[in-house]
Amino acid sequence: MSSPDNLPALSEAQWEIMNLVWDRGECSVADVWKVLQERRGVARNTVQTLMIRLKEKGWLSSREVDGAFLFTPTVSRDCSQQSTVQRLIETVFNGSAEGLVLSLLHGGALSTGEVERLRRLIASSRKKES
């Protein structure tokens, strides 16, 4: 798979499509459209255009099977998320991961369970370092 660092950033709508493709591994425009149609009534042509643009930008590849194109991701979800978060930290938080975490904590974006899991991950990370 490719690295997301060399690809253009994804818009919110593109992330939504990529998440569907990552969940399925391979899917057609119709597969994605059915899900998005139920969520928010998007036109099939809009989904097709977005998926073609994702392919042109290098996020998706496709192959033709029985007259339909099946799309697959060229970049893993984990790498894409890590790259996007790193860009966010660099641009919005001036390189401070602490600033991102504090924003999440103070903004109420983390549940009690998530905070506890983060505490355990930090403790585990500290043990590995020593």
Instruction: Please write the tens of the pLDDT for every residue from 29-59.
Output: 999 999 999 998 899 999 999 999 999 999 9
User: Residue 81 pLDDT > 90, yes or no?
Assistant: yes
User: Residue 106 pLDDT > 90, yes or no?
Assistant: no
In a shared domain, residues 68 and 102 = no
User: Residue 94 pLDDT > 80, yes or no?
Assistant: yes
In a domain, 53, yes or no: yes
In a shared domain, residues 66 and 93 = no
In a shared domain, residues 30 and 57 = yes
pLDDT band at 108 (very low <50, low <70, confident <90, very high): confident
**Boundaries of domain holding 102:** 77-129
DSSP for the chain, written as a single string: ---GGGSPPPPHHHHHHHHHHHHHSSB-HHHHHHHHHHHH---HHHHHHHHHHHHHHTSEEEEEETTEEEEEESS-HHHHHHHHHHHHHHHHSTT-HHHHHHHHHHTT-S-HHHHHHHHHHHHHHHHHH-
In a shared domain, residues 69 and 93 = no
pTM of the model as a whole: 0.83
**Number of folded domains that form the chain:** 2
In a shared domain, residues 90 and 105 = yes
CATH number at residue 102: 1.10.4040
| Residue 115, pLDDT score | 86
In a domain, 31, yes or no: yes
In a domain, 5, yes or no: no
In a shared domain, residues 33 and 67 = yes
Mean pLDDT of 7-13: 93
In a shared domain, residues 66 and 82 = no
Of the two residues 4 and 18, the one the predictor is more confident about is 18
How high is the mean pLDDT of the chain? 92
The residue out of 73, 89, 107 marking a domain boundary is 73
Contact at 8 Å (CB) between 33 and 44?
yes
Mean pLDDT of 98-116: 86
In a domain, 1, yes or no: no
In a shared domain, residues 123 and 92 = yes
